[in-house]
Structure 1
Amino acid sequence: MDLDALVTRRRPGWDRLAALSKQRRLSGVESDELLDGYQRVATDLSTVRSTAPDPSLVTHLSGLLAGARLKSSGTRTFSWSMVGRFFVEDFPAALYRLRRWWILTALINVVVGFALGTWLYYNPVVENTLISPAEVAQLVESDFASYYSENAASSFATQVWVNNVWVAAQCIVFGVLGLPVIYVLWQNVANVAVTGSLMHQHGRADVFWGLITPHGLLELTAVFVAGGVGLRLFWAWVAPGARTRLSNLAHEGRTAAGVSLGLIVVLLVSGLIEAFVTPSPLPTWARVGIGVLALGLFVLYVFTLGRSAVRRGITGDVDESLVEQSAPTAG
């Protein structure tokens, strides 16, 4: 075989395959062209290896095939534009699409929390069976307030962030089972209700609300979002609708995974507020105002960017091209 003649004849096709492999987006026709070019180069490589195994040419053709294979299989590389798209489109779209689930979860938890706290307030004998009078005095007089300032702000922020991410993760990971989500939410609300009722009974309501509100508004909202998303994941296989159970569970599972990533950032913000704002010397109205502002910005984020993204057809699920590994075709 005349190797030089082969190279001269095939080089335009090889160059075209290299160009398609580096192109960011391919049309349907270009995708078919990529597949055809891959097959032709694979044949050329086989011919070269069997008749005139030139090392440099074999290496060059193997590299072309590797690049085309990566392109055709839909492999993605990290870029900051992907991060930007996630937080501008995918994450808010998922939150907006699932808003009924987490808003209802939030409302139910708030009602249950206030009802439990009120009942405990008027029935202090119940709490006496859970905690001794000495422990109650220690909690309301010092422990509750000192909790927010006894450690360095940076380490405390990390501590509460990790703890809150773990709570949110449990709601989502165990969401497919349903009941564990309700249990996690109940524990969270019950702890707040018990502490709140004790602080109110001992005339420390101002301290309780002044310390829990700045970070608690955003923090609890994030936990309620995780709970609502987890319960939607459970409902995905209980009532799959037009999809099969497996398909619907996979769809909602991918969305839930994306939401969990976004909540890590939301909980980071609430953790920073808890560490640097809650124990700060700012007046109560200023600290509470920061908490209200943080929650307001989150709601605005969901109902502006999220609504806009959903109207453009974005659901919060991954790109369809990533759902299945399939060869590129025209269409």
Structure 2
Amino acid sequence: MDVDAYSARHRQLWTRLDVLSRKRRLSGAEADELVLLYRRTSQQLARLQTHSPEPELVAGLSAVVARARGRIVGSSPDTWAEIVRFFTHGFPGAVYRALGWWLGVAVAFLSVAAGFATWVSVDDSARESLGLQGDTGALTAPGGAFETYYTEHSNDAFAAMVWTNNAWVSALALFLGVLILPVLYLLFMNALNIGVTAGLMADAGRLESFFGFLLPHGMLELTAIFIAGGAGLKLGWTLIDPGRMSRAEAVAHQGRHTAAIALGLVPTLLVAGLLEGFVTPSALPTPARIACGLIAEAAFLAYIFTAGRRANRTDAVAAHETAPVRMIAI
């Protein structure tokens, strides 16, 4: 069975079924059409469950069939249930599927930052090459610009500012990913800034202060940026290599996953902003502040790997969930 040809031949029918199942009001003719399309799509799904090697195609069509079935039997969508499903299935599943991309971004980002930090801290010519001023004491001294950055605003105002800024950076990384180069530039400049600051603080003998102010919020914040960058680059690569789908279908499919990641990162960045606004500048001992960031980071990663793996496993066995439709005839 040629899955690509089969999908192309019936995709318009599946799209029409999805549109009808989402409409608030149906005319009599549309209701009849919904039932007819549901029966046909159920049979086509049964064939794909047997022959298709693509779990995402089967899972997507299973969702359409399930939605149509719910409309036919008169069940209405539960908004809260949809929200819960998004955060237990949709968002972590999308992040987990992009795992290789954002881990690759994380390794490259941290390598670039570490490289610049080492260069600036051990080579006097680095500052001149990077166009830095000769005296950077105003930045690195105790109570200097690096530290006062976290305390010059009220906690709530600073948390809101940080959340807005990080959400904007993540959105750019996600949705400019289709162009690839802007995302690479954005990630490089952020890695450069962190690396140069770390190098200057290390040269001043204040690396402990650097990590003490960066890590409480930075672990979760940078993870969110890595995810955004990786998902954005994956979207851009889909345009270059759409795989078995047409280019338009592949980009639209990956775009939905990218949008899910964008929505899910909003509360993630809110937590990072609250940490940066209230924990980072607090009077807590440095180990306690870092521990708060570590707990948030560990909880987020555990959530992504546990719920994401479960979501992918559920999608992979979606055929079993819809097995009863094999008995429906046209």
TM-score of the superposed pair, with normalisation by structure 2: 0.72
CA offset digits 1:144-190 (Å, max 9, x no partner):
01111110000100101111111111111111011111000001100
Matches within 5 A, 1:37-186: 79-128=79-128, 130-134=131-135, 136-141=136-141, 142-186=144-188
Counterpart for residue 213 of structure 1 = 215
1:150 aligns to what SS in structure 2? coil
Q: Determine the C-alpha separation between the residues in 2 that align with 1:115 and 1:311.
A: 39
Q: Determine the C-alpha separation between the residues in 1 that align with 2:125 and 2:137.
A: 15
Give the Å deviation of 1:81: 2.0
Runs of 4+ residues deviating >3 angstroms? 30-36
CA offset digits 1:217-276 (Å, max 9, x no partner):
110110010000011001112111111111111100111011001111111111100111
Give the Å deviation of 1:31: 5.9
In structure 2, runs of 5+ residues without a counterpart are 1-20, 25-29, 37-70, 318-327
CA offset digits 1:108-150 (Å, max 9, x no partner):
111121112111212233224523234x111112110111111
Size of the aligned set, in residue pairs, is 253
Give the Å deviation of 1:77: 7.1
Q: Determine the C-alpha separation between the residues in 1 that align with 2:227 and 2:34.
A: 43
1:312 aligns to what SS in structure 2? helix
Give the Å deviation of 1:304: 0.6
Give the Å deviation of 1:203: 1.1
| Amino acid corresponding to residue 105 of structure 2 in structure 1 | T
Q: Determine the C-alpha separation between the residues in 2 that align with 1:124 and 1:164.
A: 32
Matches within 5 A, 1:15-34: 32=32
Does the CA contact (< 8 Å) of 1:93 and 1:314 recur in 2? no
1:247 aligns with 2:252: no
Q: Determine the C-alpha separation between the residues in 1 that align with 2:183 and 2:34.
A: 47
Does the CA contact (< 8 Å) of 1:90 and 1:314 recur in 2? no
Give the Å deviation of 1:32: 4.0
| Amino acid corresponding to residue 222 of structure 1 in structure 2 | A
Does the CA contact (< 8 Å) of 1:89 and 1:314 recur in 2? no
Give the Å deviation of 1:35: 6.2
Percent of residue pairs identical: 42
Q: Determine the C-alpha separation between the residues in 2 that align with 1:260 and 1:193.
A: 26
2:151 aligns to what SS in structure 1? coil
Matches within 5 A, 1:254-269: 254-269=256-271
CA offset digits 1:308-329 (Å, max 9, x no partner):
01100079xxxxxxxxxxxxx9
Give the Å deviation of 1:80: 2.2
| Amino acid corresponding to residue 278 of structure 2 in structure 1 | F
Does the CA contact (< 8 Å) of 2:127 and 2:134 recur in 1? no
Rg (Cα) greater in structure: 1
Q: Determine the C-alpha separation between the residues in 2 that align with 1:220 and 1:157.
A: 16
Does the CA contact (< 8 Å) of 1:161 and 1:271 recur in 2? yes
Counterpart for residue 18 of structure 2 = none
Q: Determine the C-alpha separation between the residues in 2 that align with 1:77 and 1:187.
A: 44
TM-score of the superposed pair, with normalisation by structure 1: 0.71
2:315 aligns to what SS in structure 1? coil
Give the Å deviation of 1:87: 0.7
| Amino acid corresponding to residue 122 of structure 1 in structure 2 | V
| Amino acid corresponding to residue 113 of structure 1 in structure 2 | A
Counterpart for residue 285 of structure 2 = 283
Does the CA contact (< 8 Å) of 1:217 and 1:291 recur in 2? yes
Moved more, 306-315 or 181-190: 306-315
Counterpart for residue 322 of structure 2 = none
Q: Determine the C-alpha separation between the residues in 1 that align with 2:263 and 2:230.
A: 15
Q: Determine the C-alpha separation between the residues in 2 that align with 1:133 and 1:300.
A: 44
| Amino acid corresponding to residue 127 of structure 1 in structure 2 | R
Does the CA contact (< 8 Å) of 1:215 and 1:274 recur in 2? yes
User: Structure 1 residues 34 and 106 mapped into 2: Cα distance closer, same or farther (>3 Å)?
Assistant: closer
| Amino acid corresponding to residue 236 of structure 1 in structure 2 | T
Q: Determine the C-alpha separation between the residues in 2 that align with 1:277 and 1:230.
A: 30
